[in-house]
Amino acid sequence: MMKLPSDEIIVVLGISMRLFCILFGSISILGACSSVGGNRALPSLSKVPVSEIPQITPDNWSTEYETDAAMWHLDWVTSFADPKLQELVAEAVANNYNLAASSARLQRSLALAKISNSARLPSLSFGASGTGTAIPNAPNTESYSGNVTASWELDLWGRVRDRAKASAGDAAAAQADFEALQLSVAGQTASAWIDLISASQQAALAGDDVATRERSLGIVERRYNSGLSTSLDIRLARSALAGSRANVAFQKQQHGNATRRLEILLGRYPAHEIKAVAVLPVISSLAPIVSPEKVLINRPDVRSAEQRLAASGLRVAEARKALLPSLTLRGSASTNGGQIADIFDLNRVIGSLIGSVTQPLFAGGSIKAGITRSEAVQREQLARYAQTVLIAWREVEDALSGEKHLLQRETALLISVAEAKEAERLAEREYVRGVGTIFELLDAQRRRISAEGQLITAASARASNRIALFLALGGSNEKIAVNTAESE
């Protein structure tokens, strides 16, 4: 490829600047005309009809947790006081493939917004060509030509500006979607970790149940050998032991599934390698929460719906302005000669400036149909926004209600487990003494195992509900964003 000398490049730039001076001189005159008479010709355009949004903001939360205190503590992951959980959340946000795909969608939206905004600026292109003949015994002839072309659609009515702003709104919505997915992945990871701990505890409980049943079978067999029990007692004890062993296999399967679900969120191969800790994270007392209005600011899904609603209003304005005339300025300069240096000879430059005005007259109803479509999209986005807000309120109310009822359930189950353990101890002692039946012993063991299993489930549900409350309140991407930046 031939490189142009630096002085020839300066000549090209000089031609371009001269052409743009012609364009800008004409634009200044036309811009003054549009500022005087343009607004009178422009019809009244409605933006986003916020006044039509249903009044769905509650006065306060419907539980005893309502408060006007300061904002909720933002770093919600650390509130569980579980370093392993913090490590897993950071890994998931850095390696999750759904987040990687969302990041690519965000970059695409940002690029589209930039492309849309570029339509507001003039375009400039430069071209050069050369021809020659190489016939034997004939003189060699060469010809070179160059041209510079510029064009600019004057945005008299703001149609191009509305389109650019709508694309910027789409990019902002994509940014909010990415933040929402970050928060979702963090919540899913935390919930998967809770589920893994719960599955591990259930598997340990199933193993303890087998040990209990084996001990009971030994007691029954000794009594049978002594003539104090019947074969019915042995059959029932063996049946209970086999059922407990079957439950161990089931709980191991559940534990493996929970491990692999977590590994997929982390972007790992589902190899069933993560080991759970022995106890669930500590659930601290509930601090004062944000007001209902603050939830709309904190939640990225609500912000995304709001941005899309605003973008739809701008597209309605753009569609209506398509009925108005458009003005486009085009300018060009060209030169030619027998030598390549002639391309950059300003004395040979031939320039032209053309301005064209286009007024739509008949398009088969496509423009009006486009307006109808844009207005329908706006109504759709309005309904989606209202529905998103309602879902936000429901999620907060559900989580707050769960805080109270799950605590009550866990407290009651603690009593149930304590009483069931004592009942099992008494039933075993009475069976050994011969004053109790095998049915009473097996039933007491079943009740104790059931109560402990329910307690594990309730404690897990309470931890998961606390995560759901953080997510419903909008959570925080502050720590996540830092981890993402560090991973890059």
Question: Is it the case that residue 424 has pLDDT exceeding 70?
Answer: yes
363 — pLDDT class (breaks 50, 70, 90): low
Angle, to 10 degrees, between the axis of helix 159-225 and the axis of helix 300-321?
150
Amino acid letter for position 419: E
How far is residue 432's CA from residue 222's CA, in Å, rounded to a whole number?
10
Q: Of 99-108, 135-144, 251-260, give the range with the top mean pLDDT.
A: 251-260
Burial 181-214 (b: 16+ CB within 10 A, else e): bbbbbbbbbbbbbbbbbbbbbbbbbbbebbebbe
Residues 6+ apart with CB under 8 A from 62: 397, 400, 401
Residues 6+ apart with CB under 8 A from 400: 61, 62, 63, 65, 289, 469
E strand intervals along 292-418: 326-337, 350-358
Q: Of 30-44, 179-193, 354-368, give the range with the top mean pLDDT.
A: 179-193
286 — pLDDT class (breaks 50, 70, 90): confident
Q: Which of 232-236, 280-284, 335-339 has the lowest mean pLDDT?
A: 335-339
Closest by CA position to 178, among listed 88, 89, 113, 93: 93
- Which SS3 state, helix, strand or coil, does residue 152 take? strand
Q: Tell me the average pLDDT across 296-322.
A: 90
How far is residue 363's CA from residue 373's CA, in Å, rounded to a whole number?
16
The reported pLDDT for the residue numbered 293 is 74
38 — pLDDT class (breaks 50, 70, 90): very low
Q: Tell me the average pLDDT across 458-469.
A: 94
Nearest-5° Cα angle at 425, 419 to 431: 130
Q: Tell me the average pLDDT across 123-145.
A: 69
pTM: 0.76
Amino acid letter for position 408: Q
345 — pLDDT class (breaks 50, 70, 90): low
DSSP 350: E
The reported pLDDT for the residue numbered 464 is 95
- Which SS3 state, helix, strand or coil, does residue 108 take? helix
The reported pLDDT for the residue numbered 215 is 94
How far is residue 312's CA from residue 310's CA, in Å, rounded to a whole number?
5
How far is residue 295's CA from residue 473's CA, in Å, rounded to a whole number?
5
How far is residue 276's CA from residue 84's CA, in Å, rounded to a whole number?
9
Q: Of 2-16, 114-128, 151-165, 170-184, give the range with the top mean pLDDT.
A: 170-184
For the chain, the average pLDDT equals 79
Tokens 């897993």 label which residue? 88
**What Rg, from alpha-carbon coordinates, does the chain have?**
37
Tokens representing residue 107 in the block: 């970059």
Q: Could you read off the pLDDT of 47-104 as tens digits, one per residue?
A: 334 344 444 556 565 554 443 333 333 478 888 888 999 999 999 999 999 999 999 9
352 — pLDDT class (breaks 50, 70, 90): low
